[in-house]
Amino acid sequence: MTDPCANQDQIKFWNEKAGREWADLQERMDANLSGAHAAIMAFAAAQDGEHVLDIGCGTGTTSLALADSVGARGTVTGADISRPML
């Protein structure tokens, strides 16, 4: 059985120090994760006109790249629990 407090712990974690620090260091984090980002983009293979939901979008780097892939006829929606990262 899942601990009901586990989600609250994650919400607190990402909305306090961790989320603020990630947002402050976004450029460095993007550079550090560029290899993973490239692999995700290749795997997703978003096409023009598709609609994409990016859950756990963080600061939106992948969401923005996906938006370029789906063009004007598609949509990308990003969702995250971290207000500082959004």
The domain ranges of the chain are 5-79
Return the amino acid letter for 45.
A
Check whether 37 has a pLDDT greater than 70. yes
Rounded Cα distance, 16 and 41, in Å: 29
Alpha-carbon Rg for the chain, nearest whole angstrom, is 15
SS3 67: helix
Q: Averaged over 26-41, what is the pLDDT? A: 95
The band of 1, judged by pLDDT with boundaries at 50, 70 and 90, is: low
Q: Are 79 and 59 in contact (CB under 8 A)?
A: no
Q: Are 49 and 74 in contact (CB under 8 A)?
A: yes
Other Cβ atoms less than 10 A from the Cβ of 78: the count is: 21
